[in-house]
Amino acid sequence: MTKNEITINDNSNGWGPSKELVNDMGMPFVLFNKSERLGKIADWTAPTETKENTTNVQRKRHQMDIPTPTPFNYQPNQEDASFSVVDRASASKFGMKSLKSKSLQRQPMLKKVVRYAEKQPKARETSIKIKDSWKLIDELDFFRMADLSFYVEGAEDMYVLKMEKMSIILALLILMKTIRDAVHGMLNYYDKSYDKITTKAPKKLAATTKVFVNPTASDDAILKELAENATEKSIIATDTVLAALMCSPRSIYSWDIIISKKGNQLIFDKRSSGVLDYNTVNENAAEPPVESTEKDTNINSHEALASEATQINRNFSQQVVSESTRVVFSNPHPFIQGDSSEAPSTAYRYRKWDLDDITLYARTKLDAAMTGKGESAEPINEVVDSSFPLNTTQFIKVIALNEFDSHAVGSGGAPDWTSKLDTQRGAVIASEMKNNSNKLARWTTEAILAGCDYMRLGFVSRSSVRDRKRHQILGTTLLRPEDFAEQINLNIGNGWGIIKAFADICYDRLSDGKFILMRDPTKPLLRLYQVSVQAAEPIEIFEEAFEEDAEDVIDE
């Protein structure tokens, strides 16, 4: 065929060649490779191609991988058909693996997938069950709360004025603030030998037999009497509730407080044995401890660690003080009657603050006394007996951080205290400031509210990472509350702004009755609910046990 014999048929009425094609190219065309652009779009008449069953995956096939039969396919003759190549590939040492063996090989990978799934964050539960009958009143967003600020002057120790039991002269002396009735209890002096403890010479943490009580505001007879005498707008609370509310933007876990409103009076209560009575562990860590399920025996769960940390703080606060030295105040312990040996080293200081048109009455707590170079910045006058001069006596708050397992889930990447506490104490404290931001902020706020001069911070670790009942003290450090507040970026003015803003909401929007303020477990906000109960009903109807047996973690 010459070049002049080739013609092109153009179809001016449609797409593609004309249907009236008279003459084709007159030459056969076969696909030599897959990249040819000329051919049929689909040939349904071509025979289906099957692959050869062979264990030698490297063996080449005789015909090209094209969907149409072609004369260029190799057709072996009789001699070639009898020819074969010896396969010299070495056989597998263990032969063909069965499906069972392959399944066993995949099990470690499946276990890794399961462990990864267990680390995924789970939805946290609310601290109290929300009932359908409760009405949502308002939501307080943490982002808006961060901009609040309110200036409050220094606290004033308060007293209960009982005119029928006093002479006019004595009453006038009280009004002139020469006699005060604000502090109840007794404090032991701190034992300075615990300043010498190191990781190489730790000291065993012993269990205490003292009785610890932390009643809510409604169960405090002194606060009740103050509330009865108050005529202006007033708030009755404890330092535990105030600190939780002032530091609420730092919180992660759910918690709740009960608000009772009657006329111009607001009472902020906590539930007995509720969340606020326990110290959280690594609440602010990037991967906090997991929350346990029913019948869970994980000693490193959120609930188990909170119960363990609470008992550690009680034991530590009583071990680091000397029972032979003490400061005795004019008023006895208000909650423990009878045998005074059961009362721990604790003094309750009743104070008040002026929030413009609102007066806040609160019970604060001191843990111990300490000898220093000067007297307390906020001295207490009603002292009956003291082992050391009052002009060298200062008041402190005793607290303890605890380490459970630096390699466990929820440790927050904290360094090993046993090897790092003595040489890199700053790094250890910085790690705790990140993982326990809310707990440290609440402790610092409570110390400032009580007028403490210092905070004695202890470092307590498990004797064995798998035993939560035996612990050892690795060291202690002394902190000034105001200075430590700056280190952890705690703004007390912002905390007072939160208290003032929430009090204004209660007075402006709430009628007489009972309400629940709850930290949402998933969103950064507080929810205010009106509960469907009468104002006269007791608070005990809200009590739900924090499901953890505290006796299991008492050191033996």
Q: Which pLDDT does position 290 carry in this prediction?
A: 83
Q: Which pLDDT does position 515 carry in this prediction?
A: 95
Q: Which pLDDT does position 546 carry in this prediction?
A: 36
Distance CA 67, CA 293 (A): 61
Distance CA 508, CA 512 (A): 11
DSSP calls for 94-147: T-SPPHHHHHHHHHHHHHHHHHHHHHS--PPPPSSPPPTT-EEEEEEEHHHHTT
DSSP state of 59: P
Distance CA 9, CA 449 (A): 99
Any idea what the Cα angle at residue 146 is, between residues 142 and 152, rounded to 5°?
A: 125
Q: Which pLDDT does position 172 carry in this prediction?
A: 46
Q: What is the 3-state secondary structure (H, E, C) of 471-531?
A: EEEEEEEEECHHHHHHHCCCCHHHHHHHHHHHHHHHHHHCCCEEEEEEECCCCCEEEEEEC
**SS3 of residue 172 by DSSP:** helix
Query: Do residues 424 and 483 make contact, with C-beta atoms less than 8 angstroms apart?
Result: no
Distances (CA, A) of 97 to 56, 109, 110, 473: 17, 18, 19, 56
- Tell me the angle at which helices 492-509 and 437-450 cross, rounded to the nearest 10 degrees: 80
Distance CA 519, CA 230 (A): 30
In the chain (556 residues long), the average pLDDT of successive 10-residue segments reads 61 67 56 56 54 46 49 60 67 58 63 54 79 92 93 82 46 43 90 94 93 92 82 92 97 95 93 90 91 73 92 96 93 83 91 93 96 87 88 95 89 89 93 95 97 96 92 96 96 96 94 94 94 49 38 43
Q: Which pLDDT does position 449 carry in this prediction?
A: 96
Count helices and strands (H / E) in the chain.
Answer: 12, 17
Q: How far apart are the first and last CA of the chain?
A: 108
Distance CA 24, CA 453 (A): 106
Query: Do residues 10 and 18 make contact, with C-beta atoms less than 8 angstroms apart?
Result: yes
Q: Which pLDDT does position 445 carry in this prediction?
A: 98
Query: Do residues 204 and 472 make contact, with C-beta atoms less than 8 angstroms apart?
Result: yes
Query: Do residues 490 and 498 make contact, with C-beta atoms less than 8 angstroms apart?
Result: no
Token match 């002096």: residue?
A: 189
How many C-beta atoms lie closer than 10 Å to residue 491's C-beta?
15
Distances (CA, A) of 394 to 19, 150, 322, 492: 109, 28, 15, 22
CA neighbor of 320 nearest in space, from 376, 400, 383 = 400
Residue 139's Cβ-side half-sphere holds a number of Cα atoms within 13 Å equal to: 8
Q: Which two tokens stand for residue 185?
A: 């209890």
Distances (CA, A) of 499 to 120, 241, 243: 35, 11, 10
